Structure 1
């Protein structure tokens, strides 16, 4: 049985963190024992002779060859314009079953590296650790949007978190029948619609106080901002971000961070709590540090929801070992982007 890994910290989200501290965080994570063991399990050895930049490039290439299950296509994969198989959504990937011993190693490593399990709620820290200027709820598949908005409401109502304002960040990604088949989502066509439905239900918001959006047909250029007030008077925003590369892709996590910051203007030193699902904490944290920490001077903390705290969690999909490897690849790419932003 694989055991004995210590938790590996992610790069710091402290406001004003030095380049040296951030580089040390990236280097410590990519050189950690669990990641070394995973690389070895796939027939290679982490090349210690390389500096951090070159090691990140090596890991990016290694992960693309061995852990990019989305890039290999799935049950409904479609060819892209260049004839190659396009990456599919996370829930469309055809499962790759790994040997039992390797599966055990992946789960142990994923736990140590921050993709599996859940830490204490913010309120488990001293009182100053639960006060945030902004609580950001990230979008995703329809079920995840409902789970995350419900968990955000739990955090505030239980007193685990105090927030000056809240925002749900998504895009105009069309919903697919496979992700909505068992859900009651009246009037929802896009990811942002589910986020809005979830936030309004969780925080009992009435009609929006403000609405702004792009004009014309929905495309990768499209955006919207809707602002509400909950029963306590706290501002609740729901944003659909445009893509920064609309010719080739829809908006991704970093685009939603940038759009939120550009529209709502966090101040340097503001404390930001990012809420997602645990497998995505490492890569979405690194994206937040790069965009909101380096770009706007914010302090960033990223947490995953605790399924035991929300009623919707009964239908949460259990991830396979291949999916944790996929998110490790996402984290390596996000850390590489963070490292380059420090140059």
Structure 2
């Protein structure tokens, strides 16, 4: 089934008013792709007022919460759904922005934020970001947003095989991957500290590149996407209202992470925000194809993220 592609909420320089944001979210919520997914999982498509439809979808999307109990994405056990569900999920993903949103709309941005993760993710996203800038997009300042999460044995093995044997935490591989992808030959300048809550952070600069190991907002928990945006604005970026930010991630995370960037950067600083994601199939040497379970999990994250945008007074 081919669905009409639905635009994610736009956030140009200066932002948009609440009515325009509500309408954009409502079009996504009431789309044919969402309706067919909900029906396939034995639900009733969202209906009523925009507020009612969104509330219904937020309540329903718990059916796609495969991380119950706070599991990491890598710990989720994939569900083997039948072929017709697989086809539906992949078609809907493209329509809803979880695939096929890899090309920026403009040719110049003031900041490019490459979102981090494990070593495979860092390698792929760094190469993707570099390819965009080599392909005609002017990027201004480039920053990798990562964390101080210690890597596991498998990740350490992969990092070593990729020539990053000294890497121990996520930010180490983010730095090594960015430096390699952009061909930068500059010594690292580092500063670090702890938050008032005692959570550590670190900023490293490699010539034109910056890598932030953000502090987690929850004691004992690694920094997440939201922590990265907040930490970057406070310790690295400080975006001006006239700035345009390009967020670079992986395809299926685009809607959720776009919503987070709009909420935490666009709405706070009135800067422009756009988000693009690499196609995992084009980076198969590092990344595996997205499972139905992973797509549905990130669909839930997208729903909750978009809901947060219309909850702002």
TM over 0.5: yes
Query: What is the correspondence of 1:26-37 to structure 2 with a 5 Å cutoff?
Result: 26-37=25-36
Other structure's SS at 1:193 match: helix
Please point out which of 263, 288, 295 is paired with 1:317: 288
Q: Which moved more, 1:102-111 or 1:273-282?
A: 102-111
CA contact (8 A) 1:220 1:243 kept: no
Query: What is the correspondence of 1:74-113 to structure 2 with a 5 Å cutoff?
Result: 86-113=69-96
| Distance in 2 separating the partners of 1:190 and 1:182 | 13
Q: CA deviation at 1:308?
A: 7.2
What residue in structure 2 maps to residue 67 of structure 1? 64
Matched, 1:262 2:239: no
| Distance in 1 separating the partners of 2:280 and 2:253 | 15
CA contact (8 A) 2:159 2:165 kept: no
Other structure's SS at 2:200 match: coil
What residue in structure 2 maps to residue 154 of structure 1? 131
What residue in structure 2 maps to residue 275 of structure 1? 248
Please point out which of 299, 308, 313 is paired with 1:337: 308
What residue in structure 2 maps to residue 199 of structure 1? 178
Q: Which moved more, 1:254-263 or 1:55-64?
A: 55-64
What residue in structure 2 maps to residue 75 of structure 1? none
Q: CA deviation at 1:19?
A: 1.3
What residue in structure 2 maps to residue 74 of structure 1? none
| Distance in 2 separating the partners of 1:208 and 1:131 | 27
Query: What is the correspondence of 1:289-308 to structure 2 with a 5 Å cutoff?
Result: 289-306=262-279
Other structure's SS at 2:110 match: strand
Matched, 1:136 2:108: no
| Distance in 1 separating the partners of 2:198 and 2:64 | 28
Give the TM-score normalised by structure 2: 0.91
RMSD between aligned residues: 2.1
Other structure's SS at 1:87 match: coil
Q: CA deviation at 1:282?
A: 0.7
| Distance in 1 separating the partners of 2:121 and 2:7 | 25
Aligned residues: 307
| Distance in 1 separating the partners of 2:192 and 2:185 | 19
What residue in structure 1 maps to residue 40 of structure 2? 41
| Distance in 1 separating the partners of 2:198 and 2:184 | 28
| Distance in 1 separating the partners of 2:21 and 2:301 | 18
> CA 1:254/1:228 → structure 2, altered by over 3 Å: closer, same or farther?
same
Please point out which of 196, 204, 218 is paired with 1:226: 204
| Cα deviation digits, residues 233-267 of structure 1 (max 9, x gap) | xx2110011122326x3221111111111122110
Other structure's SS at 2:190 match: strand
> CA 1:289/1:97 → structure 2, altered by over 3 Å: closer, same or farther?
same
> CA 1:290/1:49 → structure 2, altered by over 3 Å: closer, same or farther?
same
| Distance in 1 separating the partners of 2:4 and 2:296 | 19
Q: CA deviation at 1:307?
A: 5.3
| Cα deviation digits, residues 157-180 of structure 1 (max 9, x gap) | 232x11111000011122122344
Q: CA deviation at 1:17?
A: 1.3
What residue in structure 2 maps to residue 83 of structure 1? none
| Cα deviation digits, residues 85-122 of structure 1 (max 9, x gap) | x3222222111001111111111111100112344x33
Structure 1 runs (4+) greater than 4 angstroms displaced:
306-309
What residue in structure 1 maps to residue 211 of structure 2? 238
Please point out which of 142, 148, 154 is paired with 1:178: 154
Matched, 1:9 2:7: yes
Give the TM-score normalised by structure 1: 0.83
